[in-house]
Structure 1
Amino acid sequence: MRRERQSDAVLISSLSHTRPPGRPHRHDRLSRFDSSGENASDRLGRTSSYLRRETRLGSLNKQDQDTTSKDYKKMYAEALQENEHLKSRLQDSKQELVNIRSQLDKLAQRQDLLAEKSTMLETEKKDKQALEKKVSGMEEEMKVLTELKTDNQRLKDENGALIRVISKRSK
């Protein structure tokens, strides 16, 4: 509103400086009327009506400014409230993001543990199979060894019998 009144004042002042040729300024006409004998009460009536009109316009402008300022205050309060609401939502979202990230980290750790366990299980299975192969190989060797021992014992017994037979004949 203030800008409008200022622009109106600038417009009026610019119009008063640009008068058509042959036309006197407004104050020139007033002074001419004064010299022509216009009475002061007419001039005061015009001035007072002008003042009343300006006062009414001023009060209307003030009411508009009050309403506008109240509207701005209301809009400001609403904007603050909305900002607070959005800040709380943002904070909640950040907290939720932190929780989700921690859950994701836990799941990744579990998967790593499971992967490690599965590789350990695979390694253990391979080790077990290798040990079983060794055991079966050793069992076969044990069988061969027992067979060799029995053959060795049998040969010792035969050798002892042969030595006795030879010693009886040589006597």
Structure 2
Amino acid sequence: MNPADFRAAGTEMEKNECEDQDSDDRSLNKQSIRERRRPKERRRGTGIIFSTQDDEDEVDGNEEVKETRHERLSRLEAATNPSTSDSSYSESASGRSSAYSRRENRLAALSSRAEEESNRDYKKLYESALSENQKLKSKLQEAQLELADIKAKLEKAAQQKQEKTSDRSSMLEMEKREKRALERKLSEMEEEMKILTELKSDNQRLKDENGALIRVISKLSK
């Protein structure tokens, strides 16, 4: 087989491979579009179509398919026309570099967006936790004040009870002293009554003796 036939056979094989790959890419692209179009159809009732991450990935996939197709067509053209192979490979390399750059930029943008959303979520969580902590702190302060009030009331009640007990003890002691004093006074009065009874008896006896003497004197004087 001469070089021309070998080049023609290689070109035909690569062309068939490119057509098969294009057919597969179109099938995958149509399936991806059908699958990712469903969320939009469900939102169509509001009249607003939202752009999601799947839509952006769909656009990126279409661009990559176009770039891959362009690159393969460039290789096919280079194989059929050797005079333009250098410029075609240069354009292909430039296209790949541009595609990689765009992909890196998209990945960087997605990473930055994810980081911003993550920071926003952390900020919301921090603010929510701070608010909840403040509420718990306020409730704790209220509970401490209520506990201090109850403790003060208990101390006051105990003090009043102690004072009442002390007053009652004092009253009981005073009553005991008064009772003992009355008992002593009663005993003294009983002793005085005994003395008075004896004195009364002596006085009656003296009266009787005095009457007898008076009668004796009157008889003697006669």
Range class of TM-score, shorter chain:
0.5 to 0.7
- 1-side partners of 2:189 and 2:89: how far apart? 146
Structure 2 stretches lacking a partner, 5+ long: 1-85
Indicate the RMSD between aligned Cα atoms, in angstroms: 2.5
Q: Match of 2:107?
A: 57
Between the two structures, name the one with larger relative contact order (CA 8 Å, sep ≥ 6).
1
Q: Match of 1:4?
A: none
Q: Match of 1:138?
A: 188
2:65 counterpart of 1:43: no
CA drift at 1:38 = 8.3
Q: Match of 1:124?
A: 174
The within-5 A match list for 1:75-154 is: 75-154=125-204
What TM-score comes out, normalization by structure 1 length? 0.68
2:106 counterpart of 1:73: no
Structure 1 stretches lacking a partner, 5+ long: 1-35
For each residue in 1:24-78, what CA deviation from the matched residue of structure 2 results, as whole angstroms up to 9, or x when unmatched? xxxxxxxxxxxx9984322222221111111111111111111111111111111
- 2-side partners of 1:71 and 1:170: how far apart? 146
Q: Match of 1:32?
A: none
Identity of aligned residues (%): 25
CA drift at 1:103 = 0.4
What TM-score comes out, normalization by structure 2 length? 0.54
- 2-side partners of 1:142 and 1:38: how far apart? 153
Mean Cα deviation higher: 118-127 or 50-59: 118-127
Give, as a single letter, the amino acid of the residue that structure 2 aligns with 1:84: Q
Largest Rg, 1 or 2: 2
